[in-house]
Amino acid sequence: MSRRRVILAASIALFVAAQFVPVDRTNPAGGDEISAPAGVAAVLERSCYDCHSNRTNWPWYSSIAPVSWLVTRDVSEGRERLNFSRWREYSAKERNRLAERAVEEVSEGAMPIKIYLLLHRGAKVGGSELELLRAWARDERAAGGAADSR
């Protein structure tokens, strides 16, 4: 057998074996969902929820290793940093910080991440949507200040 065929056969065997490595593609039950104005909720659901909520839509490619490993890692890290399904579990101060940070990252083009946008072009946040998110963050700041002064 030629060296090229050995490499090809080994690569195929590794790819097939990788499919048996388990990954957790679950959506935890329950949670205390964010209550936001309809326009804000629509932007968050379309552009953020796949990585930052317990309502992830797992696309077909999230079942194929090694891509599945990357997708599940991104979702796990996203939920750890900010989970809109646990929004009301955060303190008012934390919600304020998270809202401001989310708007900042969207403004800078850091979120949604570029690789996600390649496959989900509709997730890009436009100018008027960004203004909606900024207003929402200001409202969260005001609500946080009112809650802190009680």
Output the CA torsion sign for 47, 50, 51, 54: positive
pLDDT value of residue 31: 74
**CA separation, residue 146 to residues 26, 43, 71, 92, 149 (Å):** 36, 26, 38, 9, 5
- Number of helices (H), then strands (E), belonging to the chain: the values are 7, 0
Q: How would residue 33 be classed by pLDDT, with cut points 50, 70 and 90? A: confident
pLDDT value of residue 149: 42
The whole-model pTM stands at 0.83
How many whole angstroms from its chain centre is CA 57? Answer: 10
Count of structural domains within the chain: 1
Domain of 108 in residue numbering reads as 3-148
**Structure tokens given for 127:** 């100018």
Report the percent of the chain where pLDDT is more than 70.
Answer: 95
The type of residue at 146 is A
Q: What's the pLDDT tens digit per position in 78-121?
A: 999 999 999 999 999 999 999 999 999 999 999 999 999 999 99
Q: What's the pLDDT tens digit per position in 57-76?
A: 999 999 999 999 999 999 99
Q: What are phi and psi of 112, to 5 degrees?
A: -60, 155
- 66 cis-preceded (ω within 30 degrees of 0): yes
